[in-house]
Amino acid sequence: MNRRAQRDRRQTRNRLLISLGVAVVLLGGLAAAGGYLWSHYGSQVSLALGWTSNDYEGEGSGEVVVVIQEGEIGQDIAATLEDHDVVKTSDAFYSLLLERPTVEFQPGAYQLREQMSSAAALDALQDPENRVPLTVTIPEGFTVEQTLERISTSIDMPLEDLQAAAEDPAAFSLPSGVDSLEGWLFPATYEFELDTTPTEAIQRLVDEQRAVLDSLDVAVDDRERVLNIAAMVQKESGIADDFGKVSRVIANRLDDGMRLQMDSTAQYGMGEHSDGSVWSTDEALQDDNPWNTYVHTGLPEGPISNPGRAAIEAALQPTKGDWMYFVVSPGGTGASTFSVTAAEHEQAVAEYREWCDTTPDSGC
């Protein structure tokens, strides 16, 4: 074979290899693109092509409360059910409604299950036994912010409407000089009507706090101060048995002119009040805000949470004792160790830190 023929064969072979390489690259790119598209849109494609059902099967599981508002139509209800994962798609539920044009819905709250078939969900909404009150449970120690969020999620009331109502504390007949709802939203379980307005919902909690203060004979002029102390007692105490002792530490420090140095106040002033940590950040401890009792003497500017009745009672009647300090006790029970002297307190802190360091998953 002459050199020219050999060269032509090599060139032909090289062109074939290049073409094959290009084809492999293109196929790889198409596969990668296809994988990406499928990962993002595969479920929609499957539904559109009828490869998978747009409806769940069976009666579902778990529990979820769904609220049907006055004036809502079938499409609204279908969207709400999908949002709460009661039905797989709003289209499946709405298609069923089109097959049953005589179905009517009554406004209210309904106890349903997650991942129900559209037929099961529709039957459940037609059963009056599934009607439930609009119930909200507010835990002790929640802040105003947390309380409004809980109301919103529990009874399907727009959070922004609640926040707008709360911006005017004067509308709720608080004592003169009180310019915040913090401390005045009594933690308890409430039932609301479907037509309850945000202002009415907040007023209900304020009225309950006022009733508790009335029952404890707290003078109107003393109420903000009592709630201020009770709010710290609520946040600082891991167990109710320590409420009275924490209250006594606060009273003793105030009498002695000491800074209260309550971590809960430093955390609140920095917006860390929902963190749940025993320890505060250095930034929080040093921040010069009016709630920070590490920086300022006396009480914080106002309550840092909404205390329950037991904390209020402790604020009114502290346990007798000379304690000036306390820290969480080792063991994870939530109890605290109370000390009279700084040396005793430092020893208690060291013991707690050692327990934290040697106990996996201690949550410290």
Per-residue pLDDT reduced to its tens digit, 23-81? 444 555 554 545 554 445 544 555 555 567 999 999 999 999 999 988 999 999 999 99
pLDDT band at 113 (very low <50, low <70, confident <90, very high): very high
Q: What percent of the chain has pLDDT over 70?
A: 84
Task: Report which residue type is found at 85.
Answer: D
H/E element holding 212? helix 198-215
* Residue 22 pLDDT exceeds 80: no
List the 61-68 sheet strands across, edge first: 61-68, 108-114, 131-132
Q: What is the DSSP string of 64-123?
A: EEEEEPTT--HHHHHHHHHHTTSSS-HHHHHHHHHH-TT-----EEEEEEES--HHHHHH
- Tokens at residue 347, please? 């020893």
Q: Which one-letter DSSP state was computed for residue 173?
A: T
Q: Distance from CA of residue 263 to its chain's centroid?
A: 21
State the distance between the two ends of the chain, measured CA to CA, in whole angstroms: 84
CA atoms within 13 A on the CB side of 31: 6
Q: What is the pLDDT of residues 169-199, one digit of tens each?
A: 999 999 999 999 999 999 999 999 988 999 9
* Residue 345 pLDDT exceeds 70: yes
Please state which of the four CATH numbers 3.40.640.10, 3.30.1490.480, 1.10.1040.50, 3.40.50.150 is assigned to the domain occupying 61-132. Answer: 3.30.1490.480
Q: Where are the domains of the chain?
A: 16-52, 61-132, 134-215, 238-358
> Pairing between strand 131-132 and 134-137?
unpaired
